[in-house]
């Protein structure tokens, strides 16, 4: 049969609850209950916004929970929540307190995330967890992705790589920067932190000519951009400076979403949907086995070279 027909049959079997002996044994080994083992449960995923980034997570959660016989409700945090009192009032009105378990997405406001983590409900974070917090978590591994990005650039003879991205707003952003520093150290690359653009204000407000001038006055031959907004600014700056990609400068982005203007820029494959599916399994495992130690799962994806990386200094 064709590959597309094979995928359709496999997906239909998953949705109808059919399992091979190996799949059933896997659920048993991980102590994950499904609909045949008890009553359907109702879970909520709490998100900071809407859009493709969150839709992939909802799709993964909803599909896996449905296969295992349970239901999912999606809740978006109102933008007006600005402190602990607002967060507590919203929690009481939203119905969160009556759920069987909660999934916490990335980028939640600090007070809201803290309030959710203190609720006496089973929780799984689809994010890197805060320090010293007892909670299960699943995340697409941006640390691994950064190391893959630097490895690729070094394979193309780049030794001076510029990092552009905010390192303060989110835990995942800080980990990108920390992993970039670790990768440079591992590979013996020169690194002066003050030469990199890690201030979000400077990143978005510098005139386009500033980046071009910085590149012409330095030895940088490649750029790693943390998110798509950084790519937009960097590409406009390179164009204004008359620098081509990848002829003059190689560019890699670390965002999960395809850039609408530059879809061919090299990037890691960040497993958003797969992380959500694994989060659903961890939730049911936690409910069935509350005594087990907490788990922090990182899903490592592959890397797409794209058309934005070339050899440094004309090397082949």
Domain spans in the chain, listed from the N-terminal domain onward: 3-141+270-301, 142-269+304-314
Phi and psi (nearest 5°) for 194? -70, -10
Find where tokens 């978006």 sit.
76
User: DSSP assignment, residue 269?
Assistant: -
pLDDT value for 220? 93
Find where tokens 């495992």 sit.
285
**Distance from chain centroid for Cα 93:** 29
pLDDT value for 30? 57
Lowest mean pLDDT among 32-41, 86-95, 114-123, 272-281: 32-41
**Residue 89 pLDDT grade (very low, low, confident, very high; cuts 50, 70, 90):** confident
User: Is residue 137 within 8 Å of 293, Cβ to Cβ?
Assistant: no
pLDDT value for 14? 63
pLDDT value for 18? 67
pLDDT at 115 over 70: yes
Q: E-assigned strands of the chain? A: 42-47, 71-76, 101-104, 123-125, 136-140, 161-164, 222-225, 250-253, 267-268, 296-299, 303-304
Let me know if the fold of 3-141+270-301 is the same as that of 142-269+304-314.
yes
Residues 6+ apart with CB under 8 A from 83: 111
More confidently predicted of 76 and 27: 76
CATH code reported for the domain at 3-141+270-301: 3.40.50.2300
pLDDT value for 216? 80
**Residue 217 pLDDT grade (very low, low, confident, very high; cuts 50, 70, 90):** confident
Calpha distance 92→230 (Å, rounded):
38
pLDDT value for 206? 63
DSSP line for 37-61: GS---EEEEEES--SHHHHHHHHHH
Per-residue pLDDT tens digits for 29-62:
455 655 444 578 999 999 999 999 999 999 999 9
pLDDT value for 29? 46
CATH class for the domain made up of 142-269+304-314? alpha beta
pLDDT value for 27? 52
pLDDT value for 205? 63
pLDDT at 202 over 60: no
Residues 6+ apart with CB under 8 A from 22: none
pLDDT at 132 over 50: yes
């Amino acid at each position: 049969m064709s590959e597309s027909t094979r995928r359709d049959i496999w997906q239909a079997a998953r949705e109808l609850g059919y399992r091979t002996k190996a799949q059933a044994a896997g659920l048993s080994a991980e102590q994950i209950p499904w609909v045949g083992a008890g009553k359907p449960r109702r879970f909520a995923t709490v998100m900071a916004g809407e859009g493709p980034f969150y839709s992939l997570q909802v799709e993964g959660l909803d599909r896996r929970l449905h296969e295992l016989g349970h239901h999912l409700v999606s809740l978006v945090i109102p933008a007006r929540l600005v402190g602990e009192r607002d967060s507590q009032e919203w929690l009481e009105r939203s119905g969160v307190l009556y759920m069987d378990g909660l999934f916490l997405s990335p980028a939640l406001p600090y007070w809201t995330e803290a309030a959710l983590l203190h609720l006496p409900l089973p929780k799984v974070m689809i994010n890197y967890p805060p320090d010293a917090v007892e909670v299960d978590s699943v995340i697409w591994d941006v640390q691994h992705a950064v190391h893959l990005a630097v490895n690729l650039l070094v394979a193309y003879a780049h030794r001076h790589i510029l990092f552009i991205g905010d390192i303060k707003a989110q835990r995942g952003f800080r980990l990108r920067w920390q992993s970039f520093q670790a990768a440079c150290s591992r590979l013996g690359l020169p690194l002066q932190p003050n030469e990199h653009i890690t201030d979000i204000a400077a990143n978005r407000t510098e005139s386009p000519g500033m980046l071009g001038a910085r590149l012409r006055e330095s030895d940088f031959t490649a750029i790693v951009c943390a998110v798509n907004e950084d790519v937009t600014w960097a590409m406009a700056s390179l164009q204004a400076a008359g620098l081509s990609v990848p002829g003059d400068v190689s560019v890699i982005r670390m965002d999960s979403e395809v850039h609408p203007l530059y879809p061919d820029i090299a990037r890691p494959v960040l497993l958003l949907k797969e992380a959500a599916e694994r989060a659903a399994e961890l939730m049911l495992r936690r409910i069935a086995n509350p005594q087990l130690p907490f788990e922090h799962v990182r899903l490592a994806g592959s890397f797409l070279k794209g058309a934005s990386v070339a050899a440094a200094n004309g090397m082949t």
